[in-house]
């Protein structure tokens, strides 16, 4: 299941994690456990943004936003590029993969069940149609 780099709100829900698996602070699981860092990722999910823009959108003090951006950069969740005097941040989707995979494994298990259910349902539909034809 390839990570496409597109982040939806459904994916954002995935970040509501507890942290038993986060062994160190330089860990994506740990980094996304902080609500304001999740908020930053949500904004960046719509596209890259300069710091000022993030500050304005989140309504948080610039030093705090910068601090969280630093943590997110350390774990590779965001990347930064300079454009003139601005520093523009973007989401680094690939580093979300471990979190994404965590839920995707579970999702896949259920989808395999549902695909078999689809087959059962096709048969049930045919049976029902057969019965109504008999009437």
Partner 1 sequence: MTSSGTAVVTLPTQTQIVITRDFDAPRHLVWKAYTTPELIQRWWSGERGEVTKAEVDLRIGGTWRYMMVANGGFEVGFHGEFREIVPNERLVTTEVYDTGPGSESVDESMAPLITTTFTEVDGRTTMTQVTDCPSAEVRDMIVESGMEAGMQESMDALERVAITLA
Binding site for partner 1 (CB under 8 A): 10, 13-14, 16-18, 20, 101-122, 124-125, 128
**Cβ neighbours of 99 (radius 10 Å):** 19
Closest separation between CB of residue 114 and partner 1, Å?
Answer: 5
Given a contact cutoff of 8 angstroms between Cβ atoms, the answer to whether 109 and 2 are in contact is no
Query: What is the Cα 24 distance to its own chain's centre?
Result: 21
Specify the residue for token string 């005097």: 85
Nearer to partner 1, 18 or 24 (CB): 18
**Cβ neighbours of 7 (radius 10 Å):** 20
Nearer to partner 1, 6 or 116 (CB): 116
Closest separation between CB of residue 49 and partner 1, Å?
Answer: 25
* DSSP of 25-61: SSSHHHHTTSHHHHHHHHHHHT--EEHHHHHHHHT--
Nearer to partner 1, 61 or 98 (CB): 98
CA distances from 123 to 68, 107, 119, 129 (A): 54, 25, 7, 10
Closest separation between CB of residue 134 and partner 1, Å?
Answer: 18
Strand partners for 91: 78
Closest separation between CB of residue 20 and partner 1, Å?
Answer: 7
Closest separation between CB of residue 82 and partner 1, Å?
Answer: 36
């Amino acid at each position: 299941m390839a990570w496409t780099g597109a982040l939806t709100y459904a994916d954002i829900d995935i970040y509501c994690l507890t942290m038993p698996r986060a062994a160190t602070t330089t860990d994506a699981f740990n980094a996304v456990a902080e609500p304001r860092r999740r908020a930053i990722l949500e904004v960046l999910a719509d596209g890259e943004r300069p710091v000022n823009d993030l500050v304005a959108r989140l309504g948080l003090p610039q030093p705090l936003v910068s601090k969280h951006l630093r943590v997110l950069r350390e774990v590779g969740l965001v990347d930064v590029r300079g454009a003139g005097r601005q520093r523009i941040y973007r989401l680094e989707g690939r580093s979300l993969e471990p979190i994404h995979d965590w839920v995707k494994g579970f999702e896949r298990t259920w989808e395999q069940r549902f695909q078999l259910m689809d087959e059962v349902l096709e048969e049930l539909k045919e049976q029902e149609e057969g019965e109504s034809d008999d009437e």
